[in-house]
Structures are given as structure tokens and as C-alpha cells.
């Protein structure tokens, strides 16, 4: 780190957007510090869907989450930023040091870390899964109820019931075909799925082969088991019929509750409840010197995708560098 531990740019969160910001800032010869609350790099991709394939990141027709994270890390860390893992950012304050206006960042482990600019790439902040509305649902944690598929091997030869109507539920109904016992039950409370049409079509085709059972419009009403999950009762909400289905892994993929945590109290203007308002032409927030990119950054028409976050990271890093140096913003190509 440069002079007296003052970083040019501090990056809050090491998901795909944070790693892209680290790359661009390093490429522009800025000193960079990354602070990440998880013990690992890669954000949602590493934490939620490491084994899922991603098809829509530019330049990668099909890439597994883990591989994408590895490549993002290789690119993002090549200028050797200072990396703090397992440290949650909690406070932000303006300070003046030797006549220079700086930002001071406090974490649960310490600080203050001084920086000339901050790029917030905190994704959804701290997030937790939505749970089924069944009494005592938390008692089944670690006993057969799952909220993520982190390792496919965990489900080898298991009888799985997957609940949800979005991409994750469909992705894992397809993704566990080579691992779990057939048929994999897919339960959704509506007739129509929200997931990608091609995934839904594939699941319906597998149903024809006895590899998937689709229950709609249905809800899981009860979990049965002695010590661990052994079966679930599934109710058809149109007919009222209830069927008990064998199950030793109940995987509920109903999305997440998320909140920005302390970041929401820093006086940054928000966009809705979950995002920090930025000017998309600079990615600067309403507080000078504080930028945001990726899922956490909001504006009218925002689409939360990895590719978009990486683009915003480039805008944020280049604007932060230009602002620190008092220069005009201009691209510097990475080619020799
Ligand atoms: C199941 C699923 C499938 C998806 N599939 C695709 C897909 O196919 N294609 C696609 O483009 N997108 C997909 N997405 C969305 C994609 O994962 C996100 O758009 C992307 O991860 C956002 O990157 P990010 O860097 O902005 O945030 P994140 O990946 O959320 O990373 C943010 C990081 O910030 C850290 N953090 C948060 N608060 C703090 C704090 N206070 N202090 C320190 N660290 C903090 C978090 O721990 C996290 O590691 C999918 C998402 C999910 C959930």
C-alpha cells in the first residue's frame, strides 16, 4: 500500500463487480484495497451457485461459476491489491489528513482504513434465504432442508424435492439430473414458471422420461421424518388433494431477503430499498468520492447481471482515478 496506508481506491465486496473494479483500478496504476466480509472471493457466484453454468457473460459461451470466479480473481488480483477477507465494512466517515480530504472506513475487525475513493460493490449486502411458511421450519436446518446447492455430491443418490418457480429451481432440477435419484420432484405454487423458457421446456421433456415430476400449482405443507427429512406432504392448491412424497433432501430455492445493513445508514441516497443511487455516467453516488457498481448500484432501468456490473466497475474505477488525479476521464487500453 502507498503512503501511510492510504489507498487510492478501496473496494467494498469481492464479487464479480468488485474484482473487475480491482482490475481496472490496478490497470490505471492506482493502489487498491479490497475488503470482503466472506472468507472467500467471488460474491454470489461463489457462495450461491459455484457449480451452476453461466451462459451470458461476454466472452464465455458457457462457464461454471467456480471457473468464472477463478478467472475474475486472476484478473482482479494481478496488480496485487491488499485483500482483507472475513472483514465486514461497517462505517464510513470523511477525515482530513495532512490537508488531504480522505474517507475512513471502519470494519468489525478494525480500521480505520484510509482511502481517497471508495467503490461499493456489496451486491445485496448480507442476504438470507426465504423459507417455507411451515411451523418449526428452522428445526429442520442441517437435517435435510437446504437453501443452496453448493456441492452437487451432497445430493448423490438422494431423493430430492425442489421448491421454487424461478431460474435456480429449474437450473438445479436439470443440474442434479446426473447426481440425484430420479425422479426429482419440482414443486411450484403457480401453474407457470418464471424461469427461462428453455429450462422449463427441458424439465417438461425430462418429466416425459420419468426423470422429473412437476407439481403445480402446489405447496409443501408438511415435513415428515424422525431426526431428518424422510417425506413431505404436497398439496395441490386448486384441488386440495394432498400427496405424501418420499424426500431426503428438500431444497427450497425461493430467493433471498436482503438488506444493505450499515451501508444504508451512511447518508447515501438510495434507489428503492436495496440499492444505492448512482449517476450511471460516472457510477458516483450522492456522496463525493464514493462510487458503486454491480447489483448494489441502482438507477432507472438497471439490470442486475454480471456483465452489467463489470461494465459499471470499469466506469467507477476510471472515474475514481480521474477524480483523484484531477484528470479528464478517458479510456486507457490494455493492449500494448
Ligand atoms: C442463483 C443465481 C443465479 C444467477 N445467475 C446469473 C447468470 O447466469 N448470469 C448473470 O449475469 N448473473 C446471474 N446472477 C446474478 C449475479 O450473480 C449477480 O449479478 C452478481 O453476483 C453481482 O455481482 P456483485 O459483485 O455486484 O455482487 P455480489 O456477487 O453479491 O458480491 C458482493 C460481495 O460483497 C460482500 N459484502 C456485502 N456487504 C459487505 C460489507 N458490509 N463488508 C464487506 N463485504 C461485503 C458480499 O459478501 C459479497 O461477497 C445469478 C444470481 C443468483 C443468486
Residue 235 neighbours by CB distance under 10 Å: 19
Confidence label for 127 from pLDDT (cuts 50, 70 and 90): low
Q: Which atom of ligand 1 is nearest to the CA of 88?
A: 42
CA nearest ligand 1 atom 14, residue: 305
Cell numbers at residue 258, please? 436482503
CA nearest ligand 1 atom 33, residue: 13
Kindly compute the dihedral angle of the four CA atoms of residues 33, 37, 41, 46, in this order, to the nearest 10 degrees. -160
pLDDT at 3 over 80: no
What is the Å distance from ligand 1's center to 226 Cα? 36
* pLDDT tens, residue by residue, 187-237: 999 999 998 899 999 999 999 999 999 999 999 999 999 999 999 999 999
Q: Which atom of ligand 1 is nearest to the CA of 54?
A: 8
Interaxial angle between packed helices 65-76 and 16-27, expressed in degrees from 0 to 180 and rounded to the nearest 10:
20
Q: Which atom of ligand 1 is nearest to the CA of 35?
A: 43
* pLDDT tens, residue by residue, 252-277: 999 876 678 899 999 999 999 889 99
CA nearest ligand 1 atom 30, residue: 123
How many CA atoms within 13 Å lie on the side-chain side of 206? 22
Lining ligand 1 with CB less than 6 A are: 12-18, 35-38, 43-45, 48-49, 54, 56, 88-89, 121-125, 168, 261, 294-296, 304-307, 309
What is the Å distance from ligand 1's center to 285 Cα? 19
* pLDDT tens, residue by residue, 10-53: 999 999 999 999 999 999 999 999 999 888 899 999 888 888 89
* pLDDT tens, residue by residue, 57-109: 999 999 999 999 999 999 999 999 999 998 999 999 999 998 999 999 999 99
Q: Which atom of ligand 1 is nearest to the CA of 294?
A: 26
Q: Which atom of ligand 1 is nearest to the CA of 168?
A: 1
What is the Å distance from ligand 1's center to 214 Cα? 29
> In terms of Cα–Cα distance, which of 165, 99, 117, 95 is closest to 12?
117
What is the Å distance from ligand 1's center to 42 Cα? 8
What is the Å distance from ligand 1's center to 16 Cα? 7
Q: Is 70 exposed, middle or buried (0-12, 13-18, 19+ CB in 10 A)?
A: middle
Residue 241 neighbours by CB distance under 10 Å: 10
What is the Å distance from ligand 1's center to 123 Cα? 5
Query: Residue-wise over 252-291: b if at least 16 C-beta within 10 A, else e?
Result: bbbeeebebebbeebebeebeebbbbbebebbbbebebbb
What is the Å distance from ligand 1's center to 232 Cα? 32
The best mutation among 107, 306, 307, 315 to test binding of ligand 1, ranked by most ligand atoms within 8 Å of the C-beta, falls on 306
- Alpha helices (runs of H) in the chain, residue ranges in sequence order: 16-27, 43-48, 65-76, 167-175, 197-208, 306-325
Which SS3 state, helix, strand or coil, does residue 25 take? helix
Provide the whole-model pTM: 0.74
Cell numbers at residue 20, please? 473487475
What is the Å distance from ligand 1's center to 294 Cα? 8
What is the Å distance from ligand 1's center to 258 Cα? 12
Cis peptide before 183 (omega within 30 of 0): yes
Amino acid at each position: 500500500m502507498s503512503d501511510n496506508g492510504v489507498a487510492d481506491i478501496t473496494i467494498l465486496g469481492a464479487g464479480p463487480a468488485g474484482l473487475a473494479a480491482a482490475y481496472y483500478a490496478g490497470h490505471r496504476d492506482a493502489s487498491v484495497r479490497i475488503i470482503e466480509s466472506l472468507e472467500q472471493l467471488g460474491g454470489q457466484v461463489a457462495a450461491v451457485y459455484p457449480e451452476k453454468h453461466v451462459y451470458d457473460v461476454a466472452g464465455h459461451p458457457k462457464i461454471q461459476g467456480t471457473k468464472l470466479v477463478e478467472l475474475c480473481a486472476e484478473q482482479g488480483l494481478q496488480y496485487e491489491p491488499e485483500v482483507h477477507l472475513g472483514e465486514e465494512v461497517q462505517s464510513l466517515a470523511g477525515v482530513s489528513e495532512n490537508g488531504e480530504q480522505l474517507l475512513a472506513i471502519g470494519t468489525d475487525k478494525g480500521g480505520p482504513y484510509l482511502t481517497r475513493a471508495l467503490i461499493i460493490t456489496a451486491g445485496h449486502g448480507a442476504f438470507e434465504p426465504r423459507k417455507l411458511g411451515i411451523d418449526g421450519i428452522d428445526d429442520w436446518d442441517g437435517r435435510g432442508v437446504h437453501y443452496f446447492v453448493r456441492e452437487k455430491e451432497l445430493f448423490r443418490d438422494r431423493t430430492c424435492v425442489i421448491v421454487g418457480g424461478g431460474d435456480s429451481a429449474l437450473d438445479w432440477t436439470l443440474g442434479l439430473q446426473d447426481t440425484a435419484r430420479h425422479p426429482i420432484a419440482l414443486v411450484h405454487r403457480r401453474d407457470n414458471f418464471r424461469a427461462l423458457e428453455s429450462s422449463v421446456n427441458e424439465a417438461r421433456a425430462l418429466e416425459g422420461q420419468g426423470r422429473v415430476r412437476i407439481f403445480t400449482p402446489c405447496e409443501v405443507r408438511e415435513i415428515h421424518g424422525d431426526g431428518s427429512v424422510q417425506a413431505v406432504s404436497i398439496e395441490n392448491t386448486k384441488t386440495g388433494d394432498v400427496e405424501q412424497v418420499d424426500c431426503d433432501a428438500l431444497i427450497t430455492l425461493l430467493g433471498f431477503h436482503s438488506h444493505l445493513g450499515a451501508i444504508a445508514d451512511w447518508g447515501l441516497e438510495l434507489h428503492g430499498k436495496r440499492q444505492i443511487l448512482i449517476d450511471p455516467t460516472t457510477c458516483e453516488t450522492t456522496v463525493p468520492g464514493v462510487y458503486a457498481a454491480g447489483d448494489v448500484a441502482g438507477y432507472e432501468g438497471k439490470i442486475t447481471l454480471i456483465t452489467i456490473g463489470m461494465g459499471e466497475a470499469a466506469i467507477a474505477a476510471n472515474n475514481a482515478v480521474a477524480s483523484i488525479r484531477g484528470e479528464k476521464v478517458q479510456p486507457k487500453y490494455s493492449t500494448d
